Structure 1
């Protein structure tokens, strides 16, 4: 008898979950994406996609749509906080060659991803409340009382993953930092001149300030990282912040920083958390992806990128799996990804520490290393190639 095809369920319709959906669709795997929101949407904020993620997304057939929404910063800069002096410029430091990230609006990226997935695979308005493995199936329960059954479940439901909590009892780790986010129409920033095309960061004691273009250059994404004041540590991307309060944090900084803050109409703030690497993230027929598996601080610009890498490797594993072999393939997925993601998590923490050093000389000395870490090992990585090597090693 011919064994039936695998049925996969993805819990979470963010960047990682929808990238997995696109890849599974192209592979001919039967799946459903269960998203708690009634629509597949994202918050108004920017996201960087390094070359390691872009090459994978392009292979999914969305290159032209991605290019239409992306900005391509012309260089990376690190600047001194009080006078704006350039400490490192990727065009002259020879650190990255021609490699640069694409920078996009999260909501626009999600629109591109979801538009490529057939509607029959998408189940919005389904908040998962429980996951239970029974014999050779996984049963999902949703808050509306409905249920679903699959051969395998992928938890792509973020740092507060319900799927993860069914198997691992741990808590996010607070970094002690808060980030303010905001968007500025580029027409308000004419005083920046050609610098509006750059990915720039001002480094100062205990805090730093980041800007880069998104939405095909029409909007500037602004992120300001400051110490928590002890009264607020809410892990929400959409909690309202006050532009006046943000400006107070940066009194005495480079006038360019203050000019950008002054162009903001509103800001959101969120407290920065990550998690310690898990001893494992596959549990029988259930596995994790993206922030649910390895949430990380944003200081390497790799949260989305690592979710994309996960999604591609997982899809290639599930393409080969059958109901009776899926556990084996899920463990292979984890083995391919686990060491890589733990290294990126660690690098993200280390970069954040450098960005906020209180010793200005030490900070300037180490600033170049925060760009050098984006070199061959990070941006040169090809998840498809790593999968092929792993499979070849299994056959040897």
Structure 2
């Protein structure tokens, strides 16, 4: 049996931590993070059945994460008149797992546990990943696997994973083109905040989304005009919070927008941007505190995710707008593909060839979703919201995808399921 690989993961976000969990069973994993700890802010993230199945296969504890099951979505106009109801139950069953609503902070904490907890606790082999905080990576030799830190330290790895986010410093080194240094502004931005359950009740009374008695739902209020504005809400953290994402064109937002997740948003700008939405929406928006203003960035699909013994994952590989809620799930799918390195016979010499199979599966899949997410920027009709959900939610994993590709079959086979849509 070949010796374990030395794996260096740059970035301790969602993609980096789950990648560490997959690889730690057979290899020595080191994670380098420039921040001092979690940078997952107080906001929600929904993970489709494809991503949730992967999480559970690697020991994700839904109760620890206070994750919420969802199976329905409602679409309203700006005045809270219901336009459409969608029941996802049959699709969820076909996908083999649940649709889950999470708080990003809780999700990160559970992934950190999976990456670093004693192996005995997780019931797996191998050793925990070692995470080094407040470490600045200044250069990577993507062919040789050398990583240089700002203090002059040089680390050597057999496999380098660039999980360093939307402003990845590894990306241009892999792609070889400074044009891919950063994702470009999409032309839209999002006000993000969460509301405590008590504030929601005080604002709009008891609502179905927050009752916690049965699987919940994700709701959208659409402007249904040429501004494509939308307000997305769903519960998270065990129904303690209602996650709110309010998306609008930059041209309608008076405040200066920024690519930073932590840019401060102002209540007056939020209320002005959505001032023509009805009483229900206004009542919720007026409760907003600690608002973040996030510029939505759009990355062109990359010509490659790999070079030498280095690979890009997560937002470093395929930054996309949140209009199909696929950013988190695609990071989960990337991490699952590192199962390729847990097979027998893997050695330092075989890393570049294994990465070719990684790229053969992950890049076409994520690139397709990047493109359809870009098309979903236009939310002038209810039908534009979920038209790609069948493709997005069904993913068989890296080994089955490779088998299908080698057999000349479609990698992702869309089930013959019709969403139960009730028009109002």
Is 2:137 the counterpart of 1:140?
no
What is the rounded CA distance, in whole Å, between the counterparts of 1:108 and 1:244 in structure 2?
29
Deviation, 1:126, is 1.4
Which residue is equivalent to 2:131?
Answer: 122
Which residue is equivalent to 1:13?
Answer: 12
Which residue is equivalent to 2:123?
Answer: none
Which residue is equivalent to 1:164?
Answer: 171
What is the rounded CA distance, in whole Å, between the counterparts of 1:185 and 1:122 in structure 2?
32
What is the rounded CA distance, in whole Å, between the counterparts of 1:133 and 1:340 in structure 2?
23
Which residue is equivalent to 1:203?
Answer: 222
Is 2:388 the counterpart of 1:373?
yes
Aligned CA distance change for structure 1 residues 157 and 248 (closer, same or farther; 3 Å)? same
Deviation, 1:173, is 2.0
Cα-to-partner distance string for 1:45-82 (whole Å, 9 max, x where unaligned): 1111000000000000123445x41122352111111x
Aligned CA distance change for structure 1 residues 130 and 384 (closer, same or farther; 3 Å)? same
Maintained 8 Å contact 1:33/1:123: yes
Q: Which runs of 5+ in 2 are unaligned?
A: 117-127, 211-215, 409-424
What is the rounded CA distance, in whole Å, between the counterparts of 1:314 and 1:94 in structure 2?
30
Deviation, 1:41, is 3.8
| Structure 1 stretch displaced more, 184-193 or 381-390 | 381-390
Deviation, 1:290, is 1.1
2:325 aligned residue (293, 298, 301): 301
Deviation, 1:109, is 0.6
What is the rounded CA distance, in whole Å, between the counterparts of 1:89 and 1:95 in structure 2?
14
| Structure 1 stretch displaced more, 235-244 or 125-134 | 125-134
What is the rounded CA distance, in whole Å, between the counterparts of 2:54 and 2:112 in structure 1?
16
Which residue is equivalent to 1:360?
Answer: none
What is the rounded CA distance, in whole Å, between the counterparts of 1:188 and 1:5 in structure 2?
52
SS in 2 for 1:23: helix
Cα-to-partner distance string for 1:321-362 (whole Å, 9 max, x where unaligned): 311110000111000111111111112112221x1x3xxxxx
Aligned CA distance change for structure 1 residues 23 and 390 (closer, same or farther; 3 Å)? farther
Is 2:361 the counterpart of 1:331?
no
Root-mean-square deviation (Å) = 2.3
Which residue is equivalent to 2:36?
Answer: 38
Aligned CA distance change for structure 1 residues 120 and 386 (closer, same or farther; 3 Å)? closer
2:86 aligned residue (72, 84, 90): 90
Structure with more of its chain in helix, by fraction: 1
Cα-to-partner distance string for 1:76-124 (whole Å, 9 max, x where unaligned): 111111x212111113x98846676211111111100111223552222
Which residue is equivalent to 2:376?
Answer: 351
Which residue is equivalent to 1:131?
Answer: 140
Which residue is equivalent to 2:99?
Answer: 101
Q: TM-score, normalising length from structure 2?
A: 0.83
What is the rounded CA distance, in whole Å, between the counterparts of 1:144 and 1:222 in structure 2?
41
What is the rounded CA distance, in whole Å, between the counterparts of 2:241 and 2:4 in structure 1?
45
Maintained 8 Å contact 1:317/1:330: no
Deviation, 1:127, is 1.9
Maintained 8 Å contact 2:45/2:101: yes
| Structure 1 stretch displaced more, 43-52 or 381-390 | 381-390
Deviation, 1:318, is 5.7
SS in 2 for 1:69: coil
Maintained 8 Å contact 1:96/1:371: no
Aligned CA distance change for structure 1 residues 29 and 156 (closer, same or farther; 3 Å)? same
Deviation, 1:193, is 2.0
Maintained 8 Å contact 1:12/1:157: yes
Q: Which runs of 5+ in 1 are unaligned?
A: 358-362
1:175 aligned residue (186, 197, 201): 186
Is 2:366 the counterpart of 1:341?
yes
What is the rounded CA distance, in whole Å, between the counterparts of 1:368 and 1:94 in structure 2?
18
